[in-house]
Amino acid sequence: DTEVTQTPKHLVMGMTNKKSLKCEQHMGHRAMYWYKQKAKKPPELMFVYSYEKLSINESVPSRFSPECPNSSLLNLHLHALQPEDSALYLCASSQVHTAANIQYFGAGTRLSVL
């Protein structure tokens, strides 16, 4: 099973709302990633968690707050977002973060900020 599951599939929120995106994998992977993808553009890395610890933060604004409660779950907490944050948010996982290995992507959450 190479499934990475993301919920919700779609999310509409106002600029004052607080919401969370969820990602789950049961492949025993110890590295998990958040990417942001705008239309017709490649995914851009936001965060990397390795063994439940934040390993990389690509200078993402603090209105995005990642959390890794355990090795299977990854959350992205959203607060006071801007309309330009509207995008497809992709989660990915890989066996580990310290070797070149396959990243499996979830189907994404399509976020619209009004």
Query: Applying CB under 8 A, which residues contact other proteins?
Result: 31, 33, 40-43, 45, 48, 50, 56, 90, 94, 96-108
> CB of residue 16 vs other proteins: minimum separation in angstroms?
29
Q: What is the DSSP string of 50-95?
A: ETTEEEEE-S--TTEEEEEEETTEEEEEEES--GGG-EEEEEEEES
Q: Which residue, 87 or 94, has its beta carbon nearer to other proteins?
A: 94
Only one residue has tokens 């890989």, namely 94
Q: Which residue, 15 or 102, has its beta carbon nearer to other proteins?
A: 102
> CB of residue 39 vs other proteins: minimum separation in angstroms?
10
> CB of residue 9 vs other proteins: minimum separation in angstroms?
10
Q: Which residue, 7 or 98, has its beta carbon nearer to other proteins?
A: 98
Give the Å distances, CA to CA, from 25 to 13, 59, 79, 92, 98: 26, 25, 25, 9, 19
CA atoms within 13 A on the CB side of 93: 25
> CB of residue 80 vs other proteins: minimum separation in angstroms?
27
What is the Cα gyration radius of the chain?
13
Q: Which residue, 17 or 37, has its beta carbon nearer to other proteins?
A: 37
